[in-house]
Amino acid sequence: MRYSIVVLLKKPRQFSKFGSIAEIPITDFSENLGQSHIWTKLRNALSKLKLFKSGSNQIETIRRELLSTRLYLLLLFVSISIIIIYTVLSVETTIKTIPMPSQAEYEKLRILHSNSLKCPCEHISVKHKQFMTVNTSFHQVCSSDFVKDVWLDYLFGDGLWYNYERSDLRVRGSAYFGLLSTLCTISQTTIQNSAEQFLTETFVNAEIMPEFEFLSKMSVITQLFETTTPARFSRSLRLLRDITHGNTFISSYFLNWHWWVKFNRSSMTFPTRPVTFDNNCSCGTRSDCTESGGIYLSFSNTQYFSIPGWNVGCSPVETLLHSTLECLYNQTCINLLVYYATTFDIVYPLAINISAMNSRLSSRFPMNTMIDNIVDSLFVEQYKINVSYSTFYNQCTPTYCSYTIKKYNSFLKTMSRLVGLYGGLTVILQFIVPYLIKLAFKIRNRFCINTVTPLT
């Protein structure tokens, strides 16, 4: 059966939808009264709760026991809360170790645990030749007919160089192509020696590294080898050229200085004068003077055949380095050169078959590249350096691989740790709290005794 309490509103202008009288169910009111009554009983029970009982009836003792209980419960609650939060938020780290892992196992571990994986090498120093090979391919001119003795002997002819213009390829040409042959041999020897030295160097690494990182480091190392070896050779050749020109060494082919012997009764002199070109470039002051080379009429500067790209300079070295190999790629040009060389002034007793270089063969040097640039690169077309990561891994031989696993504590583990700490925590608090309260009361009593109240 439901009843209603009639309540008069103090503000008559504010009406409910039923009028000026609001109806409040008694059941809701009684439930609110019951709930507040329960909380009152609970609060009274907690306020009178005593976990530390001495059996004394003294008011101060009872008060200390009540305060000890409250402090004990407060500290216990705070401690348990801290333990729960710490246990839940803490991360457990576990280190796992795999002895003597294979390369496949290492790759799997690297994918799964790349941030913490460590695999120390048994051999931290490995020579390059144990996981690397170095091969090179050279410019085809170093294996062509133009560096062979047959071609050199053919150009040398009768050896009477003074019968020909200084820019004539006959006789003097054997010196140019002989130098070319020598440079090819020196370049190949230099590359071979540098490669052997490079392969005996060691790669030091304490831990095995991923393949991409290893190949990246090897790329830097091999590029350094490919650039430093030609650079050292080029500096040496440049120094030799500067010394030759700076000391005014006279070419026996009249390439830089004209000289002749003059006799008289008292002395013998050698008058000389530097070779000067049509553009007033003098070999006495400069080493890079050049003019077109080819086949000339004897004792005349009349040119019958001009060799494309061939420039005669102030020495055999400068002549070769300031020229190109354009004619040597063209069989027609070679045939004309052989024809003019055998039909003017001298008839060679032997025929010769010289094949031009293959212009379709892939090369990083265009046909009109200066021989100087080819020599600076040691005639190397391509470095073929093979690096084997698998071989490096086997040489390194990781003794073990270790990695860490981090995970948060589970609810069960949190509760088990809390239960384990609860017993010791309650014992400590039961022992410490009464002494803390007792100490607080002693301090308070001493403060009250020593307080001086002034008389008014």
Q: What is the pLDDT of residue 268?
A: 61
Task: Return the amino acid letter for 61.
Answer: T
Q: What is the pLDDT of residue 48?
A: 63
pLDDT mean across residues, the chain: 81
pTM over the 0.85 mark: no
Q: What is the pLDDT of residue 166?
A: 85
CA-to-CA distance for 184 and 41, rounded, in angstroms? 109
The mean pLDDT values, 10 residues at a time, for the chain of 456 residues are 40 43 50 64 65 66 74 80 76 85 93 90 93 95 94 83 82 92 96 95 93 94 94 93 87 80 59 84 90 81 87 93 95 89 57 88 94 96 95 93 80 71 75 76 70 54
3-state secondary structure the chain: CCCEEEEECCCCCCCECCECEEEEEHHHHHHHHHHHHHHHHHHHHHHCCCCCCCCCCCHHHHHHHHHHHHHHHHHHHHHHHHHHHHHHHCEEEEEEEEECCCHHHHHHHHHHCCCCCECEECCCEEEHHHCEEEEEEECHHHHCHHHCHHHHHHHHCCCCHHHCCCCECCCHHHHHHHHHHHHHHHHHHHHHHHHHHHHHCEEECCECCCHHHHHHHHHHHHHHHHHHHHHHHHHHHHHHHHHHHHCCCCCCCCCCEEECCEECCCCEECCEEECECCCCCECCCCCCCCEEEEEECCCCCCEEEEEEEEEECCCHHHHHHCCECCHHHCHHHHHHHHHHHHHCCCCCCCCCCCCCCCCCCCCCCCCCCEHHHHHHCCCEEEEEEEECHHHHHHHHCECEEEEEEEEECCHHHHHHHHHHHHHHHHHHHHHHHHHHHHHHHHHHHHHHHCCCCCCC
Q: Which two tokens stand for residue 172?
A: 């003097």
Rg (CA), the chain: 52
Q: Which of 390, 418, 398 is nearest to 87 (CA)?
A: 418
Strand partners, 435: none
Q: What is the pLDDT of residue 36?
A: 67
Q: What is the pLDDT of residue 261?
A: 56
Residue 361: phi, psi to the nearest 5? -70, 130
